[in-house]
Structure 1
Amino acid sequence: MMRSMFSSISSLRAHQTRMDVIGDNIANVNTVGFKSSRVTFASVFASVIKAASAPDTTSGRGGSNPMQIGLGVSVASVDMNMTRGSLQRTDNPTDLAIEGDGFFVVGGDGRAPRFTRAGNFSLDKMGNLVTANGLNVLGWMYDPVNNQIDTTKSPSKINILAYPTLPPKATDKISFDGNLSADTKAYNGTIDKYEDLLNVPAESKYSMSFKVYDSQGKEHTLQLTFVKKDNNQWEWFVDAPREKKNIGTAQAPQEVYVYVDDMIDANNNYDAFIARGTITFGQAGKVFDDENTPNVEGIQITGGRVYDSANGTFTINFVGNAVNPITFKVNSSQFDVNDNTNIAFFLKNLTQFGNMDSSIRVAQMTGYSAGSLQGFNIDATGKITGIYSNGLNQLIGQIAIATFANPAGLQRIGDNLYINTVNSGDPEIGTPGSGSRGTISQGTLEMSNVDLAKEFTDMIVTQRGYQANARVITASDELLQDLVNIKR
């Protein structure tokens, strides 16, 4: 039999394998996160008819090259092309794409983690983030006790509904800023009760309303009123909106100003304010301790229904102790909503400047009502943040990303999944955006990286190679037929 026939047969097999790969690539042209493959060929060892000879310096005869006839071709490799595919916008919040290197880590079924670039995720009925075939997307959950995400732990399943409600938080700090106009007229009258405050002319006072939250998250409205008493001194009053009501009888009427909010405890003391004090400005228009040193000592508490003159605190009590009281410290030296060491009713940032109207606002405050989960966002670092009905956000968890020293060495196992091999290296799992890991894009999917133009070109080349080798087999067969016909 002729060697040419067997060489061509090996080529037919190799080109058939290449066509198989091309067909698989084209079949997955719309598969999310699919990575195309290519086939490379290598020649098979050759039959040496005559070995090479060295030059003979004695006779002057030159050397000769070996005489070799190749014995065909074999498939050298089927390599994956790990370049990133184009991103397609879907606006589905559970669709994720990796911009850069890395793979999503999935599993949670008791087996070793698997890896994928396909981010067409969804939520199961328990709120777990899962792949299309039900595997859990792995990462790290937020720890509300330690207020952190511990990425040093092994990744586990991510539950978007882990915090379906955000518990309420009582107000314990509130900070004001703004200006009390220096052009305000001073008021010389005495203010002993709520009715006296109503009688202060508008040209001598400034009032504003603000909200606080109790320990059950219920909202309460308070009023902060400033009355100018002297050039650089004002009195401030904290109270709640009131309305006139007869608490006596028709025969013996007793009209008093009761709170509109019946949760606030007046303790039958209808004249006293919740709190009152003074605020003193220096010549520069800032709250002062002495003429040169601005300081909160320029703010004093001088009375109120429930106050502690030694500590400079006042308390808002609620009827029947239905909720915990709210206590504020007026002379707090610092204010930060994230600082749990101080409770503060912070007025230090107020100023007294002329040629401008009085205007005070709440700059910062703690406290909020309970909220239910309305949606979530996933940022570029994979952090999942819940959006709640009370307008606040809560960190839920973070998605893990794995990288490999040789991602082309991963083994495909179907369902857009890969497992690591001895040549891919072990997974290096971390947070998106760290090291060489790519970032997360929410609401997008990575499409297949199959290049149809290239695949069709390769298909033509492969088809022609297959045809040419088939012709060699035909020609070899005809030669053998001629040889057989010699006998006739």
Structure 2
Amino acid sequence: MSITGSMYAGISGLQAQSEATSVVSNNLANSTTTGYKASTIEFEDVFYSTVNAGGSADQVGNGVSVASVNTDYSQGSYESTNSATDVAINGDGFYIVEDPDTGNTYYTRAGNFTFDTDGYLVDSHGNRVQGWEMDDGSISGSLTDIQLDNSQSPPEATSEINFSLNLDSTADDNTTSTTNPYAAMFGVYDGTSDPALDDSRYAYSTTISVYDENGAAHDLTVYYDKVETSDGDIVWEYMVTCDASEDMRDFEGTEMSTTSGAGLLMTGTLTFSSSGDLTSMTAFTLADPPTDTTDPLAEENWVLAEFDTNGLPILEANFTGADDNQEISFNLGMSNSDFATGTGWDTSGGIDSLDDMDATTTTDDLPSFNTGVLSTSATTSTTSSSATYSLSQDGYAPGVLIDVSIDENGVLSGSYTNGQTQELYTIGLADFTNTQGLYAEGSNLYSATTESGQAFIGTPGSAGFGTIKSNALEQSNVDTATELTNLIILQAAYQANSKVVTTADTLLSTAISMKR
């Protein structure tokens, strides 16, 4: 290599170390940048010159050049935050974001997302995060902008009411009947009176709010009264009622709220063992069509109730005037495991309606479930005071979004003022065959190139993709100590190469001075 070649080799070293210093400096500058991935620089020697020495061909190098600048995509550590929309990827993958102005798609590891004024989930530059809408727990359709625009939880009509209570077995029989003791409260009920059932007519009551199809709340009250029986069994009569003015069931072309049967939805009996366990129950509802078309309270109109698919008796209500009544299952802790056989009722006592009962009816004559099954919280009748232990129902009013959460599978769920939680979106992830081929756009964004290959898309936690950690951000994976060490090494290399240049310059000056 000539003196001039030595100078050029030194200059190439200065240029290479300068580029390396830029890479290290950029790493250090982004050591606290969310989701930043450190870069490393690789060098290669430059083509060689051939010289003849002792009859053999030898080679002399001509300096150095930058071979590549690679990105270290290893996992960064986590930083906890107070924002549910701050998310970090634990494993492989990139978030997918789209520029709403250009339609360009980018990829990022920085999960510091927020909702903008239009309800879009966006990154710090307004690019919209991509995901799939959720439908009944499954992703639906194709990738789309994640947007919560006036998100509401629709109402759900009540379909089941559940009670767990104790009825005081020493209570008095407040309403008696010489003709039908098992339907004594029924006999004095009058929906046109206020109240429809006087307080003196029952021993205990409990009220629960239910919801119609529009999400409006309505009170259902269940009345209980002890029945004096000739055989000494513990029997209670019950009635399930609503506000008479809200009863919009149809009775032969007349709204029920104007009739004597207004508000009465179900009646029946509960039979208990001497130890207070529920052994049997009956449930009667208004027949459709009725036998007596003039009086909804005619005893022949009240027939054994049908069962739902869980073996619970069903009552019908109508609070909105809809063509179809609202079916509500009534659960006191006993279900019928054999409801599909016949009517589901054992009517060996010959009783199919209230009209079939009279003063001679015994407890053994009462209908019963084909096969009654008790739950662990079934209603009891012991000497303890009457009390309601728990009551619940499955309906709810409409709700307004108040909070969001994101689980490890990237499912974004909304919490609403009605107490409901709804799965709304699943965040999409992308990965590439060759991540080193991605083009760094700046702003923590990458774009796909022919070298990276097309993105393959999936959901967090699925094959090849990491999971999501909410309330956390992935920190820069820059190792500051390593970078500072590299900076010292580069400084020494730069100084050495500068010495090559100055030495070559001295040699060249000496050669020139020889001519003088």
1:166 maps onto 2:167 in alignment: no
Query: What TM-score do you get using the length of structure 2 for normalisation?
Result: 0.73
Q: What are the Cα deviations for residues 136-185 of structure 1, in whole angstroms up to 9, with x where unaligned?
A: 21111124xxx34336x431111122x52222222222233455466666
Contact 2:247/2:317 (<8 A) preserved: no
Kindly state the Cα deviation for residue 286 of structure 1 after the two structures are TM-superposed. Answer: 5.4
Task: Spell out the pairing of 1:189-268 with structure 2 (5 A cutoff).
Answer: 189-190=176-177, 191=185, 192-194=187-189, 198-199=199-200, 205-229=203-227, 230=229, 231-240=233-242, 266-268=257-259
What is the aligned counterpart of 1:301 among 281, 284, 308?
284
Contact 2:86/2:113 (<8 A) preserved: yes
Q: Aligned with 1:160: secondary structure?
A: coil
Distance 2:462 2:385 in 1: 51
Gap change, CA 1:172 and 1:77, over 3 Å in 2? same
**Greater shift in the superposed pair: 389-398 or 83-92:** 83-92
- 1:85 alignment counterpart: 76
Kindly state the Cα deviation for residue 212 of structure 1 after the two structures are TM-superposed. Answer: 0.8
- 1:340 alignment counterpart: none
1:175 maps onto 2:172 in alignment: no
**Greater shift in the superposed pair: 352-361 or 454-463:** 352-361
- 1:96 alignment counterpart: 87
1:396 maps onto 2:385 in alignment: no
Amino acid paired to 1:30: T
- 2:142 alignment counterpart: 154
- 2:515 alignment counterpart: 487
Amino acid paired to 2:268: G
Structure 1, gaps ≥5 residues long: 54-64, 242-257, 290-297, 336-345
Contact 2:35/2:109 (<8 A) preserved: yes
Contact 1:52/1:67 (<8 A) preserved: no
Contact 2:110/2:444 (<8 A) preserved: yes
Distance 1:486 1:51 in 2: 26
- 2:493 alignment counterpart: 465
Gap change, CA 1:408 and 1:394, over 3 Å in 2? same
Kindly state the Cα deviation for residue 373 of structure 1 after the two structures are TM-superposed. Answer: 1.6
Task: Spell out the pairing of 1:304-315 with structure 2 (5 A cutoff).
Answer: 309=303, 311-312=305-306, 313-315=314-316
CA RMSD of aligned residues (A): 3.6
Kindly state the Cα deviation for residue 422 of structure 1 after the two structures are TM-superposed. Answer: 3.6
Gap change, CA 1:382 and 1:484, over 3 Å in 2? same
Kindly state the Cα deviation for residue 86 of structure 1 after the two structures are TM-superposed. Answer: 2.6
The aligned length equals 433
Q: Aligned with 1:391: secondary structure?
A: coil
Distance 1:377 1:301 in 2: 46
What is the aligned counterpart of 1:141 among 133, 149, 162?
133
Distance 1:83 1:318 in 2: 60
1:114 maps onto 2:106 in alignment: yes
- 2:60 alignment counterpart: 69
Kindly state the Cα deviation for residue 461 of structure 1 after the two structures are TM-superposed. Answer: 1.2
Contact 1:213/1:367 (<8 A) preserved: yes
Contact 1:180/1:358 (<8 A) preserved: yes
Kindly state the Cα deviation for residue 14 of structure 1 after the two structures are TM-superposed. Answer: 0.6
Distance 2:512 2:67 in 1: 37
Kindly state the Cα deviation for residue 233 of structure 1 after the two structures are TM-superposed. Answer: 2.7
- 1:23 alignment counterpart: 25
Gap change, CA 1:51 and 1:183, over 3 Å in 2? farther
Gap change, CA 1:237 and 1:310, over 3 Å in 2? closer
Q: Aligned with 2:130: secondary structure?
A: strand
Gap change, CA 1:472 and 1:308, over 3 Å in 2? farther
Gap change, CA 1:486 and 1:278, over 3 Å in 2? same
Kindly state the Cα deviation for residue 410 of structure 1 after the two structures are TM-superposed. Answer: 1.6
Amino acid paired to 1:131: D
Task: Spell out the pairing of 1:266-277 with structure 2 (5 A cutoff).
Answer: 266-269=257-260, 273-277=264-268
Query: What TM-score do you get using the length of structure 1 for normalisation?
Result: 0.77
Distance 2:389 2:238 in 1: 15
Kindly state the Cα deviation for residue 88 of structure 1 after the two structures are TM-superposed. Answer: 2.4
Kindly state the Cα deviation for residue 403 of structure 1 after the two structures are TM-superposed. Answer: 2.0
Q: Aligned with 2:142: secondary structure?
A: coil
Structure 2, gaps ≥5 residues long: 178-184, 190-195, 250-255, 288-295, 307-313, 338-371
- 2:317 alignment counterpart: 316
Distance 1:371 1:188 in 2: 43
What is the aligned counterpart of 2:401 among 373, 376, 380?
373
Contact 2:247/2:262 (<8 A) preserved: no
Q: What are the Cα deviations for residues 422-472 of structure 1, in whole angstroms up to 9, with x where unaligned?
A: 443432211112223222223332222222222222112111111111111
Q: What are the Cα deviations for residues 45-79 of structure 1, in whole angstroms up to 9, with x where unaligned?
A: 333435899xxxxxxxxxxx974322211212211
What is the aligned counterpart of 1:38 among 37, 40, 53?
40
